[in-house]
Amino acid sequence: MMRLCAVLVLSLLGGVVSVHAAPAPHPHWSVGFHRMSFLDPLDAQPMKAIAFYPSTDAERTTALGAYHVAASEDAKVAIGRFPMLMLSHGNTGTPLALHDLATALARKGFVVVAVLHPGDNYKDHSRLGTVSNLYGRPIQISQAITAALAEPMLSPFVDIDQIGVIGYSAGGETALILAGAKPDFERLRRYCQERPEDRDACTTKGELVVDRDDLQPQADPRIHALMLMAPLSLMFGRHT
């Protein structure tokens, strides 16, 4: 059956692959969204995500905080098995800043789960610049995958063999770790010694606060593809 490739993604798990949307041609889909809540694996406190998905309901725009999002809450899910993309935002950010991307992908036949990273979002900076944030973000995305696959409203419509990650800025760093890349702290230190004027990367002179010594970079074998947007990649070399 012919399938529509909606985005090009680069997999670190064995070459170039693509995550495909639902079979084409398809009817005109609107977008629904569903709020998710589950426990942060770092401290067992609640964390949140919003899943965007193809819907057969009427078009609607919903106010979510400061954003007007072209989606309807808990609208009827379109029949099918759709690829799932996890969305990881940048430092001190919000996934809703990328709501246009999420809804555009949902219209093309993807489920997009936009995660709000605890300790590193627009309201809470408590983990910024720490080891727990670097290694914790990927673990949070893995937990969000598990939660989405257990969500009764979503799980019947997700193709579990087609899961990818969209990472923006620090979210790109998160995606790379999920794909098996290993951060090199010394590489970041050297960069900041050479370019101390880089305020985005070197405000702490390339040093991370070691607030947890029990965390390690964890890849997730369920992830088969990445889409990286302006990734923070200074800690990753060619052979990571």
Residue type, 128: L
Q: 112 CB contacts (<8 Å, ≥6 apart)?
A: 51, 52, 53, 84, 85, 86, 87, 101, 102, 105, 106, 166
User: What pLDDT does 159 receive?
Assistant: 97
User: What pLDDT does 232 receive?
Assistant: 84
User: What pLDDT does 9 receive?
Assistant: 45
For residues 165 and 84, what is the distance between their CA atoms, to the nearest angstrom?
8
User: What pLDDT does 8 receive?
Assistant: 40
Neighbours of 240 (CB within 10 A): 17
Q: Is 29 left (phi over 0), alpha (psi -120 to 50) or beta?
A: beta
User: What pLDDT does 240 receive?
Assistant: 52
Sequential pLDDT tens for the chain (240 residues): 223 233 444 433 343 345 665 555 556 899 999 999 999 999 999 999 999 999 999 999 999 999 999 999 999 999 999 999 999 999 999 999 999 999 999 999 999 999 999 999 999 999 999 999 999 999 999 999 999 999 999 999 999 999 999 999 999 999 999 999 999 999 989 989 999 888 778 877 888 999 999 999 999 999 999 999 999 888 987 655
* Virtual torsion, Cα 128, 132, 183, 203, nearest 10 deg: 20
Residue ranges of domains in the chain, CATH in brackets: 9-229 (3.40.50.1820)
Neighbours of 126 (CB within 10 A): 12
State the burial class of residue 168 (Cβ atoms within 10 Å of its Cβ: 0-12, 13-18, 19+). buried
* Residue 162: alpha-carbon gap to chain centroid: 14
User: What pLDDT does 1 receive?
Assistant: 24
State the burial class of residue 213 (Cβ atoms within 10 Å of its Cβ: 0-12, 13-18, 19+). exposed
Residue type, 63: A
